Amino acid sequence: MTSPFIETSGVKKLATFDELAAAGPLHHQTLFTGVPVWLVTGYPETRELLAHPDVVRALAHGPHMDTADGSLVQAMDTHMLSANPPDHTRLRKLVSAAFTRRRIEQLEPRIREIAAGLLDELAAAGGEVDLVDSYSYPLPITVISELLGIPAIRRDDFRRWSSIVVNGSVHSDVVYFEAARAMVDFIRELIEDKRVAPSGDLLSDLIAVRDGGDRLTPDELTSMVYLLLAAGHETTVSLISNGVHALLRNPDQLALLQAEPERLPAAIEELLRYDGPLQAAIPYVAQAPIEVGGVTIKAGEVIVFALLAANRSQQKLGNPEELDIARPDNAHVAFGHGIHHCLGAPLARLEGRVALGMLFERFPDLALAEPEEDPVRSQGLLMNAITRLPVRL
């Protein structure tokens, strides 16, 4: 696991997450953006701090947003992931009323149908394919697009915008703002279309949902759609790609899963722990001095949770650096912890189970086309995403 904590030259990597985690649970580091932070790599310390009442979302917005016009900031960041109580409580309650577990469970037949169609296309192509482009990406983007009612013709545009916005720190402000404004304009058009003609999809329900006299404002709607589209589908793409890669690199574990497919739900949890879709969570800040892991975090200091490192640092697991789908306790923080635990986690888990289960059932001899090469992963602080995964069917 390489670290996103890079010197301002953008060339020399200071250390890997593994090296940092081995050195202790908390580290005072400087991000490649020049911001000093407390980097948390210990699992118990991560859980403790994520649930701590004095650890809150940092007020600063994402990359480049300090120079953005206020209307763009409000249209992208007025969502529950960047909010603290009581605003967070209100927003999560409203969104949860539309994004229910029952709605997610009802998606499974359609997710299987989408996966089957993509697997048919893979079979027709034969030979070697890039699994990210041909399977890991189109499955979740189709699911979330249909869930929100986004036309298929706009999905390629959305992929381009979201890739830039989610990894904004490695793009120039010009490139970032162009993608962000295009995405916001698209979402606003989509919302107006749904206001005029509701169609029973999640976006129509988010527009209509109420809690007494309360409802989502226009900026809260655009921000929530942006969050669902960008964060929701990007993480699931990585869950699928990283999971396939991990299993192909650990053939004994893949063989166990193929022999005992009932282990699939537990395997998904272990894959999330072992090589989850996020390197780090969006930064937090301490509201008051906090004693943890033998150090004192001062009020006002920024905290970054290195989720990958935390998941790999659980010494109580025994051999935490090994993939073990039969591990009896594979608890992880891949979806966060506390009040900001990912609302879309049940959907990501469902898509992961369907995607991996059907892929290895259809292609039991699937193999890495470049077994000696480490796959290229996206740059940036947040995502742990394989960008290309050549496989032989």
Q: How would you label 313-322 residue by residue, b for 16+ Cβ within 10 Å and e otherwise?
A: bbeebeebee
Q: Residue 252 pLDDT more than 80?
A: yes
Residue 11 falls inside a structural domain: no
Q: Residue 204 pLDDT more than 70?
A: yes
Residue 3 falls inside a structural domain: no
How many domains, the chain? 1
For residue range 12-52, list pLDDT tens digits in order.
Answer: 333 467 777 778 899 998 877 788 999 999 999 999 999 99
CATH code: domain of residue 85: 1.10.630.10
Residue 349 falls inside a structural domain: yes
28 Cβ partners below 8 Å, 6+ apart?
A: 36, 37, 38, 39
What is the amino acid identity at position 270? E
Of 116-125, 243-252, 332-341, 377-386, where does mean pLDDT reach its minimum? 377-386
pLDDT of residue 60: 53
- Of the candidates 165, 111, 145, the residue with the CA atom closest to the CA atom of residue 229: 145
**Mean pLDDT of the region 112-124:** 97
- Of the candidates 148, 143, 161, the residue with the CA atom closest to the CA atom of residue 225: 148
Residue 9 falls inside a structural domain: no
Confidence of residue 312 (pLDDT cuts 50, 70, 90): confident
Residue 148 falls inside a structural domain: yes
Confidence of residue 237 (pLDDT cuts 50, 70, 90): very high
Domain that holds residue 63: 17-392
Residue 5 falls inside a structural domain: no
Residue 7 falls inside a structural domain: no
Q: How would you label 196-230 residue by residue, b for 16+ Cβ within 10 Å and e otherwise?
A: eeeeebbbbbbbebeeeeeebeebbbbbbbbbbbb
Q: Which residue has the higher pLDDT, 218 or 317?
A: 218
Residue 264 falls inside a structural domain: yes
**Mean pLDDT of the region 202-214:** 83
Confidence of residue 315 (pLDDT cuts 50, 70, 90): low
The Cα–Cα gap between 106 and 100 comes to 10
